Amino acid sequence: MRPLLIRGARLVDGDGERAGDLLIVERRIAALGTVDAGGAEVIEAAGKVLAPGIIDTAFRVDKAATIAGGITGVLLMPDQSPVLDEPALVERAERLGKPQLWVHPLAAATRGLRGSELAELALLREAGAVAVATGRAAIEDANVMLRLLRYAAGLGLVVVSHGENVALTAGAAATEGEAAMRLGLPAAPAVAEAIQIARDLRLAALAGARLHVACVTTAEGVALLRAARAAGQDVSAATTPDYLLLNEGAVTGYRSFARLSPPLRSERDRLALREGVADGTVAMLVSRHDPRSAEEKRLPFADAAPGAAGAATLLPLALALVRDGVLDLPGLMRALSATAAARFGVPGGRLGVGEPADLLLFDPDAPWRIEADALPGKAGNTPFDGLPVQGRVLLTIKGGEVQR
């Protein structure tokens, strides 16, 4: 491959920010700072931000949306069709994004994600799984969960858990509160999250396992995680911009595009979650990209499928946290890339000589409006339709090649 020089950029990763050039040779970063172009192809960055490519967590491989969003790696949840509970299926999933995207599969914790019989985690790890996940639902049986945590601990795998109590949330479409009451929606108490997180934290401590809560959304959930981390427990958590920028009021008018899983929470929960992101309790920002068709969304609220497209809008929505003073730009890149790389042992997340040339060039100030019908990818359903945002991806570079 011909060397590629990106000249005159703001180089930003989780370690800080500096101005300079970046040279790519043979799919890796070869030099940083002031670099002689030599025979390299040159891209003029003109002071825009060059950062490590985003490492996202998603339910779908959607290459058009990820390229548009500056995402170069995806931690793929096991809720696929078929479920990622066999080595051959994990190997196939790893190839789904090539050559534009690295896909890092998460193994199904149980056969068919039914919550009863453990999957063959050792074989799934050998096939390429980087962690094990319970999927869209928690494991209801505490004994099964304990056995899972002990098995995963022996293999050195992080367990990715869903933080909602199954019995409390069955049939619910919203969070108990004024919005759900006014609309007459079937609802579950927000404490369903805390109950599940508390149980899984205790079991993980007993098993000596590494735990990751896939999506924390409540004040009480954040408090439990903060206390566990302060006590020295090996636990991490992620959330999405949806819960940091919206509250349960977004469902007013039966807006089914705002039906998510977990459901949107109270304003108190939203503010507490922002505090958790600011202090590092919630250290990862992800999209949980789960595009739904118009047929799945244009239904009565309780019948609509939960989920939303989020890959293409993850960066501009997350940049609102920088403008609000919740995070600085290096902190944001840690949350979008470096922390996930370190936690799950996948390449990327840093700008350094020898690191993979998986990069993102973006203009943090470019204004645009999110238009659901114009979003790239498999579906454009989003609760942010019509929202003015700032921050536009200019280039996504994976393995040293500009993706189109």
Domain boundaries, the chain: 52-346+364-389
Closest alpha carbon to 60 in 76, 82, 44: 76
First to last CA, the chain: 17
Region of 243 (left: φ > 0; alpha: ψ -120 to 50; beta: rest) is alpha
* Residue 157: predicted pLDDT: 98
Closest C-alpha to 201, from 166, 177, 233 = 233
pTM comes to 0.96
**Per-residue confidence (pLDDT) for residue 333, from 0 to 100:** 98
Amino acid at 326: V
Which residues are CB-contacts of 273 (< 8 A; sequence separation ≥ 6)?
216, 217, 218, 219, 222, 239, 243, 244, 265, 282
Q: Would you say the C-alpha torsion 180, 186, 189, 194 has a positive or negative sign?
A: negative
What is the SS3 assignment for 58?
A: strand
CB distance 255 to 173 below 8 Å: no
Q: Domain 52-346+364-389: which topology?
A: TIM Barrel (3.20.20)
DSSP lists the bridge partners of residue 289 as 58
Give the ranges where 324-393 is alpha helix by DSSP (H): 329-333, 339-344
Strand bridging mode 159-161 / 211-213: parallel
| Average pLDDT along the chain, 404 residues, taken 10 residues at a time | 95 97 97 92 97 98 97 98 98 96 98 97 98 97 98 98 97 96 97 98 98 98 98 98 98 95 98 98 98 92 96 98 98 98 97 97 98 90 96 97 93
C-alpha angle with apex 318: 308 to 329, nearest 5 degrees?
160
Q: What is the pLDDT of residue 131?
A: 98
What is the per-residue pLDDT for 343? 98
Element (H, E) at 201: helix 191-207
Cα separation, 288 vs 57, whole angstroms? 5
Q: Which two tokens stand for residue 10?
A: 């703001």
Cα 178 to Cα 147: distance, rounded to the nearest angstrom: 39
Rounded Cα distance between 245 and 85, Å, is: 35
d(CA 241, CA 288): 10
Task: Report pLDDT for 380.
Answer: 82
Which candidate, 138, 132, 134, places its Cα nearest to that of 153?
Answer: 132
